[in-house]
Amino acid sequence: MYTSDHKTAAAEYLKRARTYLILTIACCLIGAVYEHFSFGVYSYFMLYAFAVPMVCGVLPALFLASSRQPSEIPRWSIKLWDAGIAVWTVGAFFRGILEIYGTASALTKWYWIAGSILLLSAAVLYVTQRVQGHSKKIPN
């Protein structure tokens, strides 16, 4: 079934993919500039911070846009997912800055924990909505 709702949902996911692509490019530029002025010291967290918005943002949005029937995702699920990506990205930059500076902090693990909780919450909310939506469609 290819309707205008499908076109609208696909367009929304393409818009999200474009936004995350811009964020991915911005992360690449920020990492490159920071690495350039770090006097030869580098951090893999800083180098690969762009991978978080690319893998968790661009790729899922493109997948959803290209699916035959893109499903409506609850707004809270999207917000939690976006927050999780933001927390992981900031955590990668923070860890990279600390490594380049030559120090470490036990606080960096909380970025990964908080981001994981947010992403997991988004996924659970999405799956719960999908299960409830399917159970309403099936007659008893």
pLDDT digits (tens, 9 = 90+) for 47-58: 899 999 999 999
Alpha helices (runs of H) in 37-139, residue ranges in sequence order: 44-47, 51-53, 59-66, 75-101, 108-137
Count of domains in the chain? 1
Residue 33 contacts residue 15 (beta carbons within 8 Å) = no
32 lies in which domain range? 4-137
- Report pLDDT digits (tens) over 62-111: 988 887 666 678 889 999 999 999 999 999 999 998 988 888 888 889 99
**Model pTM score:** 0.84
Dihedral, CA of residue 15, residue 20, residue 26 and residue 32, to nearest 10: -140
Which pLDDT belongs to residue 40? 80
The band of 1, judged by pLDDT with boundaries at 50, 70 and 90, is very low
Which pLDDT belongs to residue 134? 56
CA 109 to chain centre: 18
